[in-house]
């Protein structure tokens, strides 16, 4: 990929075409980091489903998520079977 710089005038919302994001090898899930005078667009790191379950277990109490086993199998980011 070659580096290029674009100048745009944003009057209202700034919309980036999918082709530009693909060229930058950014996936569909993005993370925006906003600092004074700068906005960075980064790919969102995949989350570990078991880490998410551990974090949610704190909402139910101080026990780990295994204490709340509902016979679910974690199959992906947003899937429980």
pLDDT at 16 over 80: yes
pTM of structure: 0.49
Which comes out higher in pLDDT, residue 41 or 63? 41
pLDDT at 79 over 80: no
pLDDT at 34 over 90: yes
Rg, C-alpha atoms of the chain: 19
Which comes out higher in pLDDT, residue 11 or 70? 11
47-77 pLDDT, tens per residue?
788 887 777 776 666 666 666 666 666 666 6
């Amino acid at each position: 990929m070659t580096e290029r710089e674009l100048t745009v005038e944003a009057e209202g919302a700034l919309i980036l075409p999918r082709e530009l994001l693909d060229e930058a090898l950014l996936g569909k899930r993005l993370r925006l980091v906003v600092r004074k005078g700068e906005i960075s667009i980064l790919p969102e790191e995949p989350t570990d489903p078991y880490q998410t379950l551990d974090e949610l277990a704190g909402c139910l109490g101080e026990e780990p998520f295994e204490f709340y086993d509902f016979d679910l199998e974690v199959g992906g980011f947003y899937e429980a079977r």
